[in-house]
Amino acid sequence: MKNALVWLRRDLRLFDHAAMHHALASAGTVYVAFIFDRAILDALPAADRRVEFIHDTLAALAAELDAAGGHLIVRHDLAETAIPDLAAELAVDVVFANHDYEPAAMARDARVARSLRQAGRELRTFKDQVVFERDEVLTQAGQPFSVFTPYKNAWLRKLEADPSVLAPWSVEPGSARQPGRFAPGRSTLPSLADIGFERTNLHQLGIGNGLQLFDEFLGRIADYGAARDFPAVKGPSYLSLHLRFGTVSIRHLVRSVMTMAARGAAGAGGAVWLSELVWREFYMQILFHHPHVVDGAFKPAYDKIAWETGPAADELFAAWCEGRTGYALVDAAMLQINRTGYMHNRLRMVTASFLCKDLGIDWRRGEAYFALHLNDFDLAANNGGWQWASSSGCDAQPYFRIFNPVTQSQKFDPEGKFIKRYLPQLAGLSAREIHLPRNPIVEHDEARKRTLQRYEVVKK
């Protein structure tokens, strides 16, 4: 083919990129574009760190493309009409993109494909953001897994049987295997203001470069299993945002850890972190095979639960959102997400459990709050996490297992270091006193009894 267009979405990089690889191997001239999709952006607040992160990432991408003799085309429009229009404007034969697994995104892609087909063009998509997708890891009966551990075991067996899935998709314009070249031109990147957004505190948060963060994490990955649960400790990889927007390659991450493990350098932490990456793909295949989880419980019986509603419930929800519950760890965690757009994974479980099982509020309200505020918001992971905490999801914790916010605080922030970071007014308290509730909006023991009664409906 003469001309092709690579449509960037959740893959904001120029290395190890499946769609880019295939475009350069198939076309003489390759254009690269990103659409600030108004179908998504119009509902967001003007100060949204994710949009700023994408904008900054695109600026770096544009510089890379310019250096490679190409350019980046950026539009602020509805993607489902902008891509067919751009394909016509550039006279491209095929639009290349990488798979997305969210129901709304797949529906959008189907509409784009239909529009392109009507104009005699084609949309080709490829696996890129996961190691295994869709129907690649199934039970012996050929069905999707709904329990994590068997899925993980099957995932690992499949990887062992075919490690070539981790091979990088090279991007070598003008090479023998990829004779295509990037289309020359001038990159067009509108300002944040041009698309209706403004600067945030993103640059003060130490988001960092994804590859550099990963290299630094590899130096402490062996301790990940022990360190990951303590929010005051530098335990996580902090790569979730980069995985969400594809500024790192999942193949590179897994391949690097597997290589370290093979020579005994990854320790126990390496296996634990790899398991977390498998959880990510587990939730993606749950979303793909069971799209009803977007609006309802994975287990339909849990949709019968009568959650608290009305003005009193709204006040409780507001207190949770604003970090005014009276439970220090819960409040510090909510202040963390409000101020930074990040929340430690252990705290995501604690705060979610508190909302559903201490306050009796529908998990979907909390899910929506996280969706709006998390820098690394991913529908599959966010939905899966909230359904796990509310016991309504696949392989979720049993409904009668209810986190105690005080014991969680004592166990995972024993000296109150994390709490004091976000609640400096408690700095003078001892390690014992700081965990005790202050003017709590609910008594945990009483709330636990109400929750057990509330969940009785699932047994009927």
> How far, in Å, CA of 374 to CA of 397, rounded?
23
136: which residues sit within 8 A by CB, 6+ positions away? 158
What pLDDT score was predicted for residue 1? 85
Residues with active-site annotation? 276, 279, 307, 345, 363, 386
pTM: 0.96
Q: What are phi and psi of 123, to 5 degrees?
A: -110, 120
State the alpha helices, DSSP H only, in 27-132. 38-41, 49-67, 79-90, 103-118
pLDDT digits (tens, 9 = 90+) for 121-174: 999 999 999 999 999 999 999 999 999 999 999 999 999 999 999 999 999 999
pLDDT digits (tens, 9 = 90+) for 398-447: 899 999 999 999 999 999 999 999 999 999 999 999 999 999 999 999 99
Assign 198 to helix, strand or coil. Answer: coil
What pLDDT score was predicted for residue 460? 65
What pLDDT score was predicted for residue 397? 78
Residue 147: DSSP 8-state: S
> How far, in Å, CA of 396 to CA of 381, rounded?
13
37-51, 202-216, 391-405: which range is least confident on average? Answer: 391-405
CA angle 152, 158, 161 (to 5 degrees): 145
pLDDT digits (tens, 9 = 90+) for 69-110: 999 999 999 999 999 999 999 999 999 999 999 999 999 999
Nearest to 52 by CA among 191, 240, 215, 233: 191
What pLDDT score was predicted for residue 418? 98
- Structural domains in the chain, CATH included, are 1-128 (3.40.50.620), 130-167+210-289 (1.25.40.80), 300-459 (1.10.579.10)
What pLDDT score was predicted for residue 459? 81
Q: Indicate the pairing of strand 122-126 with strand 181-182.
A: unpaired
What are 35's strand-pairing partners?
A: 75
Q: What are phi and psi of 305, to 5 degrees?
A: -60, 135
